[in-house]
Structure 1
Amino acid sequence: MHTVWKGAISFGLVHVPVKMFSATEDKDISMRMIHKVCGTPIAYVRQCKTCEVDVEWADIAKGYEYEKGRFVLFEKEELDQLGSDGSKTIKIVDFVDLHEIDPIYFQKTYYLSPDQAGGNAYNLLLEAMKQSGRIGIAQISIRSKSSLAAIRVMDNCLAMETIFYPDEVRPISQVPGLPEKVDVNEKELSMAAMLIDQLSTPFEPDQYQDDYRVRLMDMINKKIAGEEVHVAPEQQRTNVVDLMAALQASLEAVNTDTTEKPAKTKAPAKKKPARKKAE
C-alpha cells in the first residue's frame, strides 16, 4: 500500500506515530473523451481566457469569489500556515459509542499502522480501545482539508473514518415531498414486515458485486477480441518553433555529436514569444 499521510495520534499526553493508508479503492472503469471524427483523445488544458495562453502550475493561485467576478487570492504557503500546528496530528478529543454516529456522517476509511518506534504506544491504544468498546472522535487535517474523524479498531488494526462536520449535513427538513403523517394499512404493514423478515440475512459483502462494471468489462473484452478498436492518429508536434533557435540547436548538435538530445530540447519551446514577434 502507498502511504498517503504520516503523523501521530494524540490522546491526553500520549503520542502514537502512525502511517496512513487508503482502506478502499475506486474500481470504476476509466474512459477517455474521444473525438469521434478521428479517434483522438480530447485534451483539457489550463488556459487563461483573458491572456489567451496556457498557464503553468507555478502561475496559479487559489481564489475565493466573494462577489461575482471579484476574488481574494491565496498562495499555497498562506493556506498551509492555517493548519500548521495540527496538520500532522490526529487529536482524539472524545471517546464515544459507535452506534451513536449515524452513517450519514462517514466519508472515507483509512488504515493506520505504527510508524518508527511507536509500536508499544500503538498496541496500548489498540488494546485499550478494544476493551472499552469505544471509538475515538478526533480532528485531523489532510491535504489542507480539515475534518472530523472516528478512530476505531478493526481486527488488530486501528482504522480512521473521516466524518462530516454537522453543518455539512443537510437537514431532513429541506427534503421536499415528505409526508407530514405516516399512515399505512395494517395488513400491508404486516406483509411488508414478513417480507423483510424473509430477506433478512447476515451481512456477507463477498456475495455482492458491481454488475454494471462486470458487463462493461465483458463488452470491452468482446470489442478488443473482435478488433473493434479505434487507434488514435499519431500526433504531430504542436509547439511553435522559432526558426533561428532551431537552426542554432541543430548546429550545436552537429558540433557535439549529440543529434537526438537537441532535437528534443526545451529551448525551442522557450522561444515561443520570439516566434510571435517574428510573424
Structure 2
Amino acid sequence: MATRALWKGHLSIGELSCAVALYAAATTSDRVSFHIVNRKTGNRVRREYVDEETGKPVDRDDQVKGYETSKGNYVLLEPDEIAAAVPESDKTLAVESFVPCDDVDTVYFDKPYFVAPADEAAEEAFAVMREGMRKKKVVALARAVLFRRVRTLLIRPRGCGLLANTLNFDYEVRAADDAFDAVPEMKIKGEMLDLAKHIIDTKSGTFDPSAFDDRYDAALAELVKAKAEGREIEKPKRKREGKVIDLMEALRESAAAGKGKRSAKKKASTTSTPKRKAG
C-alpha cells in the first residue's frame, strides 16, 4: 500500500493475534485550501496569541491550557500533567465482542480507516479473522489507544482487508427527540402516498460515489484559475425559487416528469440500427 500507515499494532481476538496497520480511508487534502495574506504586501500573516486584558503578545513558554470553572476563573494544567493523563498504549486493537452487522446505528460512526496486515507473517491469522466475521455476518467491537485517547472501533470485512470506524462516544451523540420533538405524526395515504411511491420508483438507482461532485470546491478551483490567468469572472446566475402552493399538484408534476424521463430512456435503450435487406 502506497500510503503511509497512521498507526501500527496488533489486532487481538482472544489468544489469536496478528500485526496490523491502520490507513486513513478518507482525506480532505485534495480540497482547495487558502492561506491568509496581507492584502497590502502580499505576504502571509501568522497568528499570535495576545493577553485578553493587556493586549500584549504572550510567549510560547507562558502559554498554558486552562479549564474555566467560572467566569474568568481557570484551573491551569501544565503540559506534563496533561501528558500523564494520556492512557498508556499497548498498541493493541483488542476485540471485546462481536455483534450483528446492523446493530450499530450509523450516527455513531466517526472516522473510517483501512486495516491491513502489517507484514507477511500476519497474513494468515488476519485472513482467519476476516473470513470468520464474514461467514458469521458480524462486526467486531474493539478498543485501542489511538491518537492519545481510548477509542472504540467497529471493524468489518472489506474486500481482502478490514474497514474500521472509530465510534462517537454516547455523550457525543445527541438525542433524536431534540430535533424531531416538534415534528407532528401524520398518516399519509391514498393518492398522495401512491404518487410518492411512484416518484421513488422513477428515481431508483444504485449508489455511485463518483457521480457526486463537490460543486463548491470545483467553483473555488475555477475562480482561482480565472484570477491567475487574468480572465474576467462571471457571476453565476441564481435561479429564482418558486413557492410550492399545492402539495398534491407538485407530486403529480414530479410523477409525470419522472415517467417521461424513464420512458425516453427505455425507448433509447431498445432502439437499434435497422438491418439492411439482403440484395
- TM-score (structure 1 length as normaliser): 0.71
Structure 2 alignment gaps of length 5 or more: 233-279
SS at 2:95 equivalent: strand
Using the alignment, how far apart are the partners of 2:189 and 2:130 within structure 1? 49
The 3 A distance-change label for structure 1 pair 63 and 124 is farther
Query: For 1:130 and 1:85, how far apart are their aligned partners in 2?
Result: 32
The 2-side partners of 1:20 and 1:97 are apart by 23
Confirm or deny that 1:138 pairs with 2:147: no
CA deviation string 1:189-234 (max 9, x = no partner): 2111111111111112122211222222122212212279xxxxxx
Provide the residue aligned with 1:119 in structure 2.
Answer: 123
Judge conservation of contact 1:129–1:135 (CA < 8 Å) in 2.
Answer: yes
With over 3 angstroms needed to count, the CA separation of the structure-2 counterparts of 1:209 and 1:14, relative to structure 1, is same
In structure 1, the residue corresponding to 2:165 is in which secondary structure? strand
- 8 Å CA contact 2:20–2:122 kept in 1: the answer is yes
Structure 1 partner of 2:153: 149
1:92 maps onto 2:95 in alignment: yes
- C-alpha separation in 1, matches of 2:50 and 2:91: 34
For the residue of structure 2 that corresponds to 1:175, the secondary structure is helix
User: How much has 1:156 moved relative to structure 2?
Assistant: 0.5
Change (3 A) 1:160 1:59: farther
State which of 204, 221, 224 in structure 1 corresponds to 2:225: 221
Report deviation, 1:80.
4.2
Question: Counterpart in 1 of 2:270?
Answer: none
Q: Tell me the residue number matched to 1:64.
A: 67
Work out whether 1:101 is the aligned partner of 2:130. no
Partners of 1:177 and 1:36 in 2: CA distance: 48
Q: 1:33 to 1:204 in 2, by over 3 A?
A: same
Tell me the CA shift for residue 77 of structure 1.
Answer: 4.3
Q: CA deviation at 1:164?
A: 0.9
Give the corresponding residue for 2:192: 188
Contact 2:23 2:114 in 1 (8 A): yes
Are residues 133 and 176 of structure 1, via their aligned partners in 2, closer, same or farther at CA, if it must alter by over 3 Å?
closer
Give how far 1:47 is off: 3.9
Q: What do you get for the CA RMSD once the two structures are aligned?
A: 2.5
1:41, 1:70 → 2: CA distance? 35
Question: Percent identical across equivalent pairs?
Answer: 25
Q: Please, which runs of 5 or more residues in structure 1 have no aligned partner? A: 229-279
- The Cα shift of 1:162 comes to 0.7
Counterparts of 2:186 and 2:59 in 1: how far apart (Å)? 57
- Do the aligned partners of 1:112 and 1:159 also contact (CA within 8 Å) in 2? yes
Structure 1: distance between partners of 2:190 and 2:39: 57
User: Matched residues in 1 for 2:137 and 2:59: separation?
Assistant: 52
1: CA distance between counterparts of 2:85 and 2:41?
48
Distance 1:115 1:46, change over 3 A: farther
Provide the C-alpha distance between the structure 2 equivalents of 1:32 and 1:114, rounded to a whole number of angstroms.
38
Q: Tell me by how many angstroms 1:86 deviates.
A: 4.4
Q: In terms of mean alpha carbon deviation, does 91-100 or 172-181 score higher?
A: 172-181
Going from structure 1 to structure 2, the CA distance change for 1:196 and 1:165 (only over 3 Å counts) comes to: same
Instruction: Compute the displacement of 1:37 (Å).
Output: 3.9
CA 1:75–1:130: 2 relative to 1, 3 Å? farther
